[in-house]
Amino acid sequence: MNPAEEPRKRRNYDAFQSSRDRSISPPPKRRAFDFNGRPGGKEVVALRVDNPAASSTMSSNNSKNACKSAKESTKPQSRTLFPSPVQLNFVEQLPASSNANCVSLGGILGDPMIKECWLFNYLFDIDFVMRHFDPDTRDIVQVRVVHGSWKREDPNGIHIEEAAKRYPNIKVTKAFMPEMFGTHHTKAMVLFRHDDLAQVVILTANFIERDFRMSQAMWRTPLLPLEIPRRSSSDPLPLLSSGLRFKHDLLAYFQGYSRNGIASLLDLVSQLQEYDFSAVRGALIGSLPGLQMPGQFGPEDQERLGRWGLPALKRILSSIPSNSILSSDPNPEPQIIAQVSSIASVGEKWFRTTLMPTLSTMAPVQKPLPKPKISIIFPTASTIRHSIDGYTSGSFIHMKTTTPTQAKQLSFLKPMLCHWSIHPTLLPNNPTNHQEPTKKTGRATAAPHIKTYLRFTDASLTHIDWAMLTSANLSTQAWGSSPNAGGEVRICSYELGVVVWPALWDAPGTLGVASMVPVFGGDLPTEADDDGLGKDGPVVGWRMPYDLPLVPYGADEKPWCATEACDEPDWMGRVWPGYGR
C-alpha cells in the first residue's frame, strides 16, 4: 500500500465504523439501507415496539404485525429479529407479492461505485451481464470472467471469448480442470468499490437471462472495510464460526485455482487480504478438484486435508448444536431437506453410507437425537409444464430415469421425493388427491434452479438447526466420492456455498439463545413464522423458496427427466421431444 494513501484509508475506515454505531431512532427522513443494500438501515429490529417510529425499520408487511404485538403484549422483554441471510431473486414475470425483498442482478451490478468485478460461473452470456452494470460506468468497470470451459471446441468457451472481445474492460480466465468429468460450477461475484469497500456474493444462477426467470438465491457479505491493522498470516487458525475463518477459507479456495505454478487468481487473493471480514456470519463450503482425506480433522491437518466437499461439510456440521431445546415437541424428530436442480447417478451405497451420514452430523449432545428423516425436493413434469418458460425450463433440471441402473436409483429415492410445488390441477378433486400446502412462497411457476440444504429441528418444520445455500447438486462430482482403500475422497468439480446456523446471531450478555425459522413472502420473521417469538433470544429468518408442509410424490408420480419425451403440452401448447433430440 502506498504510505501516502494511509491517512485517507484510515479516515474512510473510521467513518465506516462510526456509521455502524449511529442510532437509527428516530429514523432519518431519507430511506435508509443496511450494508446489503436492503431497506431498513439496521438489520435488527425489536419485536416489542415502544417507539412507533421504530417500526419504520421493518418492511411494511411485518411492521403491522409487530405494532399489533407491541400493543397486545404484556411481557417486558423484546426479541431481536434478523432478516434472512439469503435473498431470493427478483423474477419479472411474478407478481409483486412474490418478489418482496428479492434482489435482481442489476440491483447488485448496477451500483456505480463498483470499480472492479470478478465473476465466477459455469455459463455466461457476456452481453446479458454487461447490460446490468450502470450505463455511466459500464465501460470503465474492470470485469474479470472466470469459467471452466477450457476445451477449444467448447461452445460456451468460444462464446465467452468472442463476446469478451467486444469489451476492452473484460479479461477472461480459464480455471484449471484436472478432472475430465468435472465442471467449473461455482457461481460467485467479488466486488471492489471506489470507496475502498468490497463485497462477496455467492449465488445459484448462471449468468444467462433464462436462469433469472427461474427460482434462484443469493447470499452477500456486508460491505467489507479495509482491515486495520491487518491480521498476520502466522496467527492461529480462526474458529469456524468467525468471519476471520470465512476469510481464511475463501482465500484458500481462490488460491486452490492455481495449479502447476499458474497463480491465475493472484490479483484477487492479494486484494481480498486487505479487507476485514469480521462482520461476516457464515462458514464457507467449497469444492475443488482433487483428493481429500476425510478421516483427519486435527488443526494441524486442516490446512491440507479434508478442506473441501463432504469432508469439509462434516467438519462444519460437527460444530453446530441442535436447537432441539426450542422445540415444543418433547421428542423432536429432525428432518433434513435437500432441494436441488440435478441428481446424478450416485448409487444407493454412496447416498446411504457417505452423503446421509455427513448431512446427519451434529455437535455432540447429552441426550441422543433421533436419526433425521431425509427428504429431497425435485420437480415433476407437471411443475415444469406450468413454469414460466414451460418445458424450456426443464433443460436446466436433470435426473435420468431411463436405464435399469437409473430406475434402480429412482426406486430407493422415491420415498424421499417431494414436490417443488403443487399446481391447482393436482388438488383434491384430482385422482392424485394432494393436500394443498398452508405456507406458500408464491414462486411455484419459477422453476427451481436454486440449491438449498436445511436441517429442521423437528417434524413440524418450525425451527432450523442449520441451512446451506450452494451451487452443489446431488452428485459425487460436486461433493466427493466415497473414500477409497487409502481413505481418499475424489472431487471433480468447483462448487461454492455457505452454511449458516442460529448461534452465529447469539449476542454476548443477552438472555436466551438464537433461533432460525422459515419465513415466507418476505425476509423478516413475524409472529406467524414462530409461535415462540415471546421467548428470549434473537430470531433469524430463512427465506423459503418452496412451500410447506412438504407434499410427497404420489404412487404414480415420478421426477422430471429432461431426456424423456413429454407429449402433454405445456401451458404454451408445446410438447417436449426430449433433451438433445
Closest by CA to 310, choosing from 500, 504, 490, 502, is: 490
Q: Which residues are annotated as a binding site for substrate?
A: 187, 451
- Which residues are designated catalytic? 185, 449
Pairing, β 217-220 against β 539-543: unpaired
Pairing, β 80-82 against β 539-543: parallel
Contacts of 120 (CB under 8 A, 6+ apart): 146, 147, 184, 186, 187, 188, 189, 496
Measured CA to CA, the distance from residue 522 to residue 80 in angstroms comes to 17
Measured CA to CA, the distance from residue 218 to residue 523 in angstroms comes to 13
Three cell numbers written together for 345? 447417478
Measured CA to CA, the distance from residue 550 to residue 337 in angstroms comes to 10
Measured CA to CA, the distance from residue 216 to residue 212 in angstroms comes to 7
Identify the sign of the CA torsion 47, 199, 90, 185: negative
Measured CA to CA, the distance from residue 515 to residue 296 in angstroms comes to 31
Three cell numbers written together for 531? 409461535
Measured CA to CA, the distance from residue 499 to residue 361 in angstroms comes to 14
Closest by CA to 444, choosing from 424, 417, 422, 469, is: 422
Q: Which residues are annotated as a binding site?
A: 187, 451
Computed on alpha carbons and rounded to an integer, the radius of gyration of the chain in Å comes to 24
Pairing, β 495-500 against β 217-220: unpaired
306 near 294, Cβ under 8 Å? yes
